[in-house]
Chains A and B, each alone.
Chain A
Amino acid sequence: QLQLQESGPGLVRPSETLSLTCSVSGGSISSSNYHWGWIRQPPGKGLEWIGRIYYSGSPYYNPSLKSRVTISVDTSKNQFSLNLSSVTAADTAVYYCARGAAGFDPWGQGTLVTVSS
């Protein structure tokens, strides 16, 4: 059974870079049938798609975040990562990673990242 787990700092200072990693277990990230995505949810609000990547690369980002986002993949570690630069309080959210193919399934449990000094 495929499982995803987000990891990274829970607190990031304003103007710094948020960095998260999603570790995939129970299956290989190196499948051409799927892509790997990041989604976030500010406290008490709805879901926002951040971007996705294939195991071979080819990232695609939400234009609303494109200038600040980088998604990368490390097939040797069965992981993919999210970097979000120049963060502000508006980037405070639960960040989810998920496997993509006609939507997303399964999802990681999510990790809360708070942007505060």
Chain B
Amino acid sequence: DIQMTQSPSSLSASVGDRVTITCRASQGIRNDLGWYQQKPGKAPKRLIYAASSLQTGVPSRFSGSGSGTEFTLTISSLQPEDFATYYCLQHNSYPLTFGGGTKVAIK
């Protein structure tokens, strides 16, 4: 199985801050990675696919980068509605595996 190590597991930030979350794959997965946002009591919502492509309707302050084993999700200017938990998901090989999640809280 491909292990996805996500860091940090939690962070606190202020509105307007730049936030970066990292996912590291235990082996190369090309760009077969997506980023998801989950708010309490809600289903995850895809923000980024193919490592760096923005899902339709997602604000441009979200961006993704990386390839191979190292990936990042960046929120350029944190907004109040961005406080949530973020997960990465690799779909390069089965079983599909998620990162452990990063909870973004208000400082």
Interface residues of A (CB under 8 A from B): 37, 46-49, 60, 62-64, 96, 100, 102-105, 107-110
Residue-by-residue, is B69-107 near A (CB-CB < 8 Å gives 1, otherwise 0)? 000000000000000000101010011111111000000
CB of B87 within 8 A of CB of A47, answer yes
**Number of B interface residues in the complex (CB < 8 A):** 23
* Complex: chain B residue closest to A4, CB-CB: B43
Task: Give the distance in Å from the alpha carbon of A60 to the alpha carbon of B94 in the complex.
Answer: 8
CB of A102 within 8 A of CB of B87, answer no
* Complex: chain B residue closest to A97, CB-CB: B43
CB of A108 within 8 A of CB of B43, answer yes
CB of B43 within 8 A of CB of A110, answer yes
Count how many pairs of residues, one from A and one from B, have CB atoms less than 8 Å apart in the complex: 53
CB of A96 within 8 A of CB of B95, answer no
* Complex: chain A residue closest to B97, CB-CB: A49
Known contacts being A105-B55, A107-B45, is A62 close to B95, with CB within 8 Å?
A: yes
7 shortest A-B CB distances, which residue pairs? A103-B34, A107-B43, A49-B96, A105-B46, A62-B95, A47-B98, A46-B101
Shortest distance between the CB of B50 and any CB in chain A (Å): 6
Contacts A/B (CB < 8 Å), 26 sampled: A46-B87, A46-B98, A46-B100, A46-B101, A47-B101, A48-B98, A49-B95, A49-B96, A49-B98, A60-B94, A63-B1, A63-B95, A64-B95, A100-B91, A102-B32, A102-B34, A102-B49, A102-B50, A103-B34, A103-B36, A103-B46, A103-B89, A104-B34, A104-B44, A104-B46, A107-B45
